[in-house]
Amino acid sequence: MSLAELHLHLYGCLRGEHVLRMLARSPRPSWERYEPKFEKVFGRPSPARALVARYVAGDETAVAEFEELFVFGDEDAGSFERFQTKFDLIAAASVVGIAARAPEMIPAALDEIRDAARMILDDQRRSGVSYAEQRFFFGRGTPPELIEGGLRALLEVFQESSAPIARLAPSLPRSDPWPHWEIVQRLALSPVGAALTGVDFCFIEEGHPPKEQRALFDAVLDHNRQNPERALAILYHVGESFEDKSLESAVRWVHEAAEMGAHRLGHAIALGVDPDAYGAHVRKESVAERRDQVAYDLRHASALAQYGVHVDRHALAREAELLASREGELQIVYDHRRLHEVRARQRFAMHAVRGHGAVVEVCPTSNLRIGGLRDPAHHPVRRFLEEGVAIVVASDDPGIFGTTLQRELAWVAAHAGVDVHELGARSWSARSEVLTGRR
Ligand SMILES: [Zn+2]
């Protein structure tokens, strides 16, 4: 089966062996941040530095031990801190972060990015991936010459690759995407722009409602109308982590991102997760978020009612008045009845997402290990398929999760009872360049 992989973060594709090689080559690995954090999170000192020394001395057995240290496995599940600590090993090996503060290191950072991209394309080819869309994130405040140089370096490497066919979707910082977007648009229209097929939003979503990106989405869609041959898909991580808000708001965020024109939604766990996964519990959310929820309920009152959600227009209008002058946080108590209602809201939102034509990217291992879904039966994929939501299966950070696209597809096929070939074929028709009409 010829595989297309649509949700990847480039450095998350690095295997333990790649990171070990990078650390061995690095003139100055940044141990000072990684080591104390590892000890704090895992309660023992990290053997990483000693493993690198053994590897440099020619001890090949260090590779397997390093791989085990590096992979964020089932035994680490449910701890974002552990995930971050594993990721910090990549940061220790990389000079990209250093170059963001020390411009003289930019050439070394660009060399590293090129090398990493080549190692990853190699790994993908060997594991049967024929087409790969990769995301790459430069944080807010990165010097423009590093962003532009880094993205250009990737596009040059990707352009040369035919197995796999490689595509780039730069991730834009949610807090201020505009300076990055300006660079991305320029590159998209440049001679290397053919391999640039999307933009992505990732990293912490809490505090960044989709409505904040409306103007940026409009700018991308406008770019697409003016430059159809260089159109860019909007890829948006949403509903992956929603500790800070009501389940209703988490569902709404996914719906809103699709409504605003996102072509593919990353994870969207909130849209279809079994609400019983959370049991009776209490949550908090900001008054501002509740105001948006009230407005949403009023706007969709009759459609929600069709799905069995009772919307009391008068009560909501009164609540809106009360909330207008308030700030701070509200407490929301979930009992069986309210969880049942969330399920109905999800059905409404799933049908809306389907109507908008957005495709949900399902990354099972990532969801089970960092999404905090303890019981695989609560994973949303079965409901997505039941409700006719378009999905593709992807692996997110296959290096750090120690997985492959084949394994992710096999899990969904077994878990949801669908044909693995049919599932794999879905990705080909959901490529960014297909969804935006480039091809
Ligand atoms: Zn992701």
Does 168 fall in a domain? yes
Residue 373 CA to ligand 1 center (angstroms) comes to 16
What is the value of pTM for the model shown?
Answer: 0.97
Residue 238 CA to ligand 1 center (angstroms) comes to 10
Residue 48 CA to ligand 1 center (angstroms) comes to 26
Does 361 fall in a domain? yes
Give per-residue burial for 88-121: e unless 16+ CB within 10 Å, then b: bbbbbbbbbbbbbeeeebbebbbebbebbbebbb
Does 65 fall in a domain? no
80: confidence class by pLDDT, cuts 50, 70, 90: confident
Residue 4 CA to ligand 1 center (angstroms) comes to 16
Does 255 fall in a domain? yes
- Say which DSSP state 199 is in: E
C-alpha separations of 362 from 272, 357, 365 in Å: 11, 16, 9
Check pLDDT > 80 for residue 348.
Answer: yes
C-beta separation of 307 from 282 below 8 A: no
Does 203 fall in a domain? yes
C-beta separation of 383 from 272 below 8 A: yes
* Type of residue found at 94: S
Does 131 fall in a domain? yes
Residue 264 CA to ligand 1 center (angstroms) comes to 12
- The SS3 call for residue 273 is coil
The pLDDT of residue 371 is: 77
Q: How many domains does the chain have?
A: 1
pLDDT above 90: percentage of residues in the chain: 95
372: confidence class by pLDDT, cuts 50, 70, 90: confident
Residue 84 CA to ligand 1 center (angstroms) comes to 14
Does 39 fall in a domain? no
Residues having C-beta closer than 5 Å to ion ligand 1: 396
pLDDT digits (tens, 9 = 90+) for 163-208: 999 999 999 999 999 999 999 999 999 999 999 999 999 999 999 9
Does 35 fall in a domain? no
**Whole domain around residue 312: which residue ranges?**
3-15+106-435
Kindly report the CATH number assigned to the domain that includes residue 209.
3.20.20.140
Residue 54 CA to ligand 1 center (angstroms) comes to 33
Check pLDDT > 90 for residue 302.
Answer: yes
